[in-house]
Amino acid sequence: MKKRKERIDRGIKVRSEDVFALTSYRELLYLTAPRLLPVFGLLILVPLSPPYWQEIFISTAVYALLAISWDILVSVGLISLGQSLFYGVGSYVAGALNHYCGLPPVLTIPIATVTGAAICTIALLPVLRLRGIYFSMVTLVLPLMILRLVEATRILGGTEGLTGLSPFPNQITAMYLANCCLLVALFGFRRLMDSDYGLIIRGISDNDRSVMSAGINIHWYKTQILFLGGTVGCFAGAFGTHHDMFAGMPGFALDYSIMPIAAAVVGGTGTFAGSLLGAFILVPLSEILRALGALRIVFYGLFLVVFVVGLPEGLFHYIRRKYHQFERWVEVE
């Protein structure tokens, strides 16, 4: 007698997408728990953590925002290797408005979010038509070019950067601001991609010629997504800069480009929740590994490799699959 694992779909998800009424609290819980979990975690658990960890979770939120921004660009087929462009631009716009014009964070952050995204979109507009690797190359090079420009021309504080910027009133305010925006981006983008608009976006990354032949201006849609992703990235920069009370060249550093990609890949692309999950694993992990000193990067790299090889689909896709199925052993002859 042999045994075989059998997988069964719980089926509630399928039914819930139609108009079927839910029959019990258990089913209701089954459907809402995955949505309540990040809300509960970000708005209650994280703010309850000790101050040292709060600090780490704030920077985690920044990376998570950049990862979600990366993920929305990927959904339209744009692979950005330079998320630091968004961080840096958002950071310098907010920093400059605060430093030179004396505007408070309540104003600098929204302004930097929108104008920063507009600046980045315009800067990348000429290469938006290029497919695949060419767009990626330009996003990689652009932040490095800006970096050297700031260094050479000594504008915006040069290598010193802009220091002494207005901080947030306290850490809890900062934390709630970042986490609320993270949730808005997460649920907003998920909703967007489930709509007919999202269908077009996925269509463009799938088969752009087919979308073109459907009478749709794909460049205009790509521009919109670039701007949307830009707002999330620039918000991260503007937020981070006020939190650090400093806008400077590190804003354009590679860290802000690599970590978001790693987070999105470990967590699973195309869902935004995966990016969030990935950031909340990788950033705290890198903190914990700090104790290892010089060996930190080795272990960190090892972890990444094991993860990507073991779960190439990404953690979130794996969890989601398991959640919607349950397995049992059945006997076969």
**Of 210-239, which residues contact other proteins (CB under 8 A)?**
210-218
Pattern 153-192, other proteins, x by CB under 8 A = ----------------------------------------
Among residues 271, 269, 237, 264, the alpha carbon closest in space to that of 251 is found at 237
- Those residues whose C-beta lies under 8 Å from the C-beta of residue 64, and which sit 6 or more positions away, are 182, 263, 275, 276, 279, 280
Question: How many CA atoms within 13 Å lie on the side-chain side of 112?
Answer: 31
CA distance 243 to 260: 19
- Closest distance between other proteins and the C-beta of residue 210, in Å? 4
**Of 6-25, which residues contact other proteins (CB under 8 A)?**
none
- Closest distance between other proteins and the C-beta of residue 9, in Å? 16
DSSP 328: E
Site size with other proteins, rule: CB under 8 A: 18
- Closest distance between other proteins and the C-beta of residue 163, in Å? 48
CB of 69 or CB of 205, closer to other proteins: 205
- Closest distance between other proteins and the C-beta of residue 46, in Å? 35
The DSSP bridge partners found for residue 325 are: 9
Helix, strand, coil tally for the chain in percent (to 5) = 75, 5, 20
Among residues 71, 114, 38, 42, the alpha carbon closest in space to that of 260 is found at 71
Pattern 191-210, other proteins, x by CB under 8 A = -----xx-xx-xx--xx-xx
Dihedrals φ, ψ of 129, to 5°? Answer: -75, -25
- Closest distance between other proteins and the C-beta of residue 216, in Å? 5
**Of 279-308, which residues contact other proteins (CB under 8 A)?**
none
CB of 208 or CB of 244, closer to other proteins: 208
CA distance 20 to 14: 10
CB of 24 or CB of 213, closer to other proteins: 213
CA distance 150 to 162: 12
Q: Token pair for residue 208?
A: 């752009």
Residue 65 is a binding residue for other proteins (CB under 8 A): no
CB of 144 or CB of 200, closer to other proteins: 200
- Closest distance between other proteins and the C-beta of residue 278, in Å? 23
Q: Which residues contribute to the site for other proteins (CB under 8 A)?
A: 196-197, 199-200, 202-203, 206-207, 209-218
